[in-house]
Amino acid sequence: MTKHFKYILVFLVVFGMKAAAQDIRAVAKLDQSAIRIGDQTKLHLTIYQQAKDQFSFPALADTLAGKLQIVSTAAQDTIRDQNNPEKITVTKSFVITGFDAGTYTIPSYEFKGKAGLLRTEPLQLLVQTVKVDTTKAIFDIKQPLAVSYTFTDWLKDNWQLVLFPLLGILLIVAAVYYWLKRKKDVPVKTVPKPGLPAHTVALDQLKALKEKKLWQQEQVKEYYSELSDVLREYIEKRYAIKTYEKTTDEILSGLKYADITAENKATVQDLLTLADLVKFAKQKPVAVENERSIEDAMLFVSATRKIITEGGAGV
């Protein structure tokens, strides 16, 4: 009797462990397994897990299986089990499409966590072409419609013929007015006002950006875009390096021989790189990173500002 009891106990333990393991799993699912060229479907990556466990979702590139494109990514959604509050379901969805016919294999994805490593099963997506009946002749879908052509329509089509001569007349009138006015005015020599130092302008812009509280209003991309513009403008004025229409690597290459410490160069590299990742939707910083970015930018500007000596030279 004791021997049978031991077998029953071992069976219950093993069965309980398997049941718990089955509760924690990762699943990949498509709304449709076949679409036509240009149509869209959704890919859902779901984890069934314990609430105390934490799993990281894989970072998907812009394309899947070579030629499937990710159109958009939905926010991560968490649903708690009503029957068991200790269990949750976490889902992240992606809208995908394809423009080349064929059968594509969406690979298995890994979810890493302290509880272990979870993998999804590969999926098949069929992208089909639009069937054309070649036995029928080409014909118009509808007969041409007669439409009225008004002066407004002509103006929309030929606005250049009106705008450019009008601009030329306005320029001639402005030039004559300026010439007549200049003859009457007595030239007065004025001393041009010195512009504000580059670091002063940059710090004012960063303070104004901080007061906007963009990232607190879910405008993270706009926040990092403005932060990047302020830093680029400051570097161009401070070190006489062209920054607009330049990549981050090109800007850092231009700073190679500039009077800047390695620490400050590393700071601006981290800020510009993070801004690039956010602008291209490849990274979403947390609140601490957003707050630290503006502070690091202010410290960078203050640490690299040009100091004017008594003789008027800048260092």
Q: Which residue has the tokens 């320029």?
A: 171
Q: Are residues 124 and 213 in the same domain?
A: no
Is 167 within a domain? no
Is 235 within a domain? yes
Other Cβ atoms within 10 Å of 62 Cβ, number: 11
Is 308 within a domain? no
How many angstroms separate the Cα of 255 from the Cα of each of 229, 242, 252, 267?
A: 17, 11, 5, 13
Q: What backbone phi and psi angles, to 5 degrees, belong to 18?
A: -65, -40
Q: Are residues 119 and 205 in the same domain?
A: no
Instruction: Give the pLDDT score at 14.
Output: 42
Instruction: Give the pLDDT score at 294.
Output: 92
What predicted TM-score, i.e. pTM, was given to this entire model?
A: 0.40
The closest alpha carbon to 123, from 100, 87, 94, 90, belongs to 94
Instruction: Give the pLDDT score at 314.
Output: 54
Residue type, 296: D
Q: Residue length, the chain?
A: 315
Domain edge (last residue) among 105, 128, 151: 128
**Domain at 34, CATH number:** 2.60.40.10
Average pLDDT over residues 199-210: 92
The answer, yes or no, to whether residue 122 has pLDDT greater than 50, is: yes
Is 74 within a domain? yes
Domain edge (last residue) among 69, 96, 128: 128
Average pLDDT over residues 187-214: 79
The answer, yes or no, to whether residue 310 has pLDDT greater than 70, is: no
Q: What backbone phi and psi angles, to 5 degrees, belong to 54?
A: -130, 125
Tens-digit pLDDT profile for residues 259-293:
889 898 899 889 889 888 888 877 788 888 889 99
Average pLDDT over residues 38-65: 87
Domain that holds residue 93: 25-128
Is 298 within a domain? yes
Is 136 within a domain? no
Is 168 within a domain? no
Domain edge (last residue) among 128, 149, 166: 128
Q: Which helix (H) or strand (E) holds 152?
A: helix 151-157
Instruction: Give the pLDDT score at 275.
Output: 87
Q: If you compute the radius of gyration of the chain from its CA atoms, what whole number of angstroms results?
A: 32
Average pLDDT over residues 170-191: 74
- For 99-208, list the strands marked E by DSSP: 102-106, 110-113, 116-119, 123-128
Is 310 within a domain? no
Tens-digit pLDDT profile for residues 143-168:
677 777 788 888 888 888 888 898 89
Domain total for the chain? 2
Residue type, 48: Y
